[in-house]
């Protein structure tokens, strides 16, 4: 059946606008003005984005199944102790789904690419808050439970989500209130200084990750003696931490494609490996959360901060509202930007074309 379908052609790096370029990826690019149908068809042909999409789309359903099981089997609406896990699993469903959608439809235009990844960043930011909420509920070492840091932990995590999403969106677009002209693309930080833009994104996501994991790092690496919460979940936490750092390393270094540009365009480049390691890390993180929740429930119920709507579901909903607001603010200049003429590249030859390309 698929043999009867005419798939869109793919292009090399010198045939697409600079805004679509990926470091050390030479071929496999989709048309920079793909239709929605072309984007969906590209899921079933080999491009440099195909595995990026599937490595996050398929795990979405696994985490959705986990979420449904918690809600139905543990009657989450009646048991407030499970609410942090529900928020966390919701974020585990949203971030891979947002990522797969961003990679699927980012080739529709330059402006679509930016907006798609704004939502991707917002989803990752929500995931960081989901992690903080579930850590606050189940992971804090015994000796830190109910301390000042524990009481302010989720509040600071909410602030971190705002900083994370804002910095990540800024790294692509710059300040959203600037009045852009016909050279809008050339005003983007990502266009002017791609390395600085990438570093800014690394910092944007490192801040919430490192903050969220302060209680976990202390518990598994530094704490000694009584009150250190040494249980069977710790080995799962070690696995998650190792994969998280490997994920960050792959995202920051662009290995292995940087060592052999063009050799990993379709299979094995860093973003695919980044996705796989990230999902595996989230899997181990989920298992650790469930283990801690079950093992420590009786002690935490007596000694820890009571779990309420205000410190579990409430911050999650607030994060969604704040992130959507930030995304809208950064997207409005793109949606209202003018269009300009660019050259169309075909078969490696530059040909003048009257086709209109969005300036953004």
Q: Which pLDDT value is given to residue 101? A: 98
* Residues in CB range of 202: below 8 A, 6 or more apart: 248, 251, 252
- Other CB atoms within 10 A of residue 71 CB: 16
Q: How far apart are CA 120 and CA 165, in angstroms?
A: 9
Kindly list the domain boundaries of the chain, sorted by start residue: 48-358
Cα separation, 59 vs 13, in Å, equals 30
DSSP 257-301: TTTSTTSSSSSS-HHHHHHHHHHHHHHHHHHHHHHHHHHHHHHHH
Q: How far is CA 262 from CA 196, 198, 270, in A?
A: 23, 20, 12
Question: Partners of 351 in the beta sheet?
Answer: 344
Query: How far apart are the C-alpha atoms of 114 and 33, rounded to whole Å?
Result: 14
Q: Which two tokens stand for residue 328?
A: 């809208």
Q: How far apart are CA 262 and CA 259, in angstroms?
A: 10
Task: Compute CA 64 distance to the chain's CA centroid, rounded to the nearest angstrom.
Answer: 17
Residue 182's pLDDT is what?
A: 44
Dihedral sign, Cα of residue 83, residue 88, residue 91, residue 96: negative
Buried b (16+ CB within 10 A) or exposed e, 248-263: bebbeebeebeeeeee
Backbone angles phi, psi at 43, to 5 degrees: -65, -25
CB contact at 8 A, 47 and 119: no
Helices within the chain (DSSP H only): 36-41, 50-73, 83-105, 110-138, 148-173, 184-187, 189-192, 194-212, 214-217, 233-253, 270-303, 313-335
The two three-digit tokens of residue 137, written as one number: 């509920």
- CB-based contacts of 338: which residues, under 8 Å, 6+ apart? 182, 184, 359
Q: What angle do CA 73, 157, 140 make, to 5 degrees?
A: 60
- The CA distance from 259 to 196, in Å, is 21
Predicted confidence at residue 54, as pLDDT, reads: 98
Are residues 210 and 241 in contact, defined by beta-carbon separation less than 8 angstroms? no
Contact 25, 48 (CB under 8 A): yes
- Evaluated on CA atoms 253, 183, 341, 326, the torsion sign reads positive
pLDDT at 192 (0 to 100): 65
For 77, 294, 315, the CA distances from 309, given in Å and listed in that order, are: 11, 20, 8
Could you confirm whether domain 48-358 is CATH 3.20.20?
no
- In the 8-state DSSP scheme, what is residue 140? S
Query: Would you give per-residue pLDDT tens digits along the chain (360 residues)?
Result: 456 678 899 999 999 998 899 999 999 999 999 999 999 999 999 999 999 999 999 999 999 999 999 999 888 889 999 999 999 999 999 999 999 999 999 999 999 999 999 999 999 999 999 999 999 999 999 999 999 999 999 999 999 999 999 999 999 887 665 544 444 545 555 656 778 888 899 999 999 999 999 999 999 999 988 889 889 999 999 999 999 999 999 999 999 999 999 999 999 999 999 999 999 999 999 999 999 999 999 999 999 999 999 999 999 999 999 999 999 999 998 888 665 544 444 444 334 333 334 444
């Amino acid at each position: 059946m698929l043999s009867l379908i005419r798939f869109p052609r793919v292009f090399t790096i010198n045939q697409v606008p600079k805004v679509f370029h990926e470091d050390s990826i030479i071929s496999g690019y989709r048309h920079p003005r793909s239709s929605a149908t072309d984007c969906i068809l590209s899921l079933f042909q080999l491009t440099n984005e195909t595995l990026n999409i599937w490595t996050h789309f398929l795990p979405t359903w696994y985490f959705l199944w986990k979420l449904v099981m918690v809600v139905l089997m543990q009657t989450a609406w009646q048991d407030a102790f499970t609410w942090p896990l529900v928020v966390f699993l919701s974020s585990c469903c949203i971030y891979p789904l947002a990522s797969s959608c961003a990679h699927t439809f980012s080739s529709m235009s330059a402006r679509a690419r930016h907006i798609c990844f704004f939502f991707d960043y917002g989803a990752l930011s929500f995931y960081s808050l989901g992690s903080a909420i579930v850590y606050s509920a189940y992971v804090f070492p015994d000796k830190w439970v109910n301390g000042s840091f524990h009481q302010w932990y989720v509040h600071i995590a909410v602030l971190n989500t705002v900083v994370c999403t804002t910095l990540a969106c800024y790294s692509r677009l710059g300040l959203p209130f600037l009045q852009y002209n016909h050279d809008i693309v050339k005003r983007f930080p990502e266009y002017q200084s791609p390395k600085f833009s990438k570093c800014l994104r690394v910092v944007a996501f490192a801040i919430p990750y490192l903050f969220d994991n302060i209680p976990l790092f202390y518990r598994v690496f530094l704490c000694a003696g009584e009150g250190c919460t040494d249980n069977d979940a710790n080995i799962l936490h070690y696995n998650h931490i190792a994969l998280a750092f490997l994920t960050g390393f792959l995202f920051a270094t662009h290995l292995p494609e940087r060592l052999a540009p063009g050799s990993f365009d379709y299979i094995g480049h860093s973003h695919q490996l980044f996705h796989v390691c990230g999902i595996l890390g989230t899997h181990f993180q989920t298992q650790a959360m469930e283990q801690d929740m079950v093992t420590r429930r009786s002690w935490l119920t007596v000694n820890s901060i009571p779990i309420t709507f205000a410190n579990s579901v409430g911050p999650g909903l607030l994060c969604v509202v704040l992130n959507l607001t930030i995304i809208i603010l950064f997207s409005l200049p793109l949606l209202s930007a003018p269009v300009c003429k660019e050259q169309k590249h075909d078969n490696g030859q530059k040909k003048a074309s009257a086709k209109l390309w969005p300036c953004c």
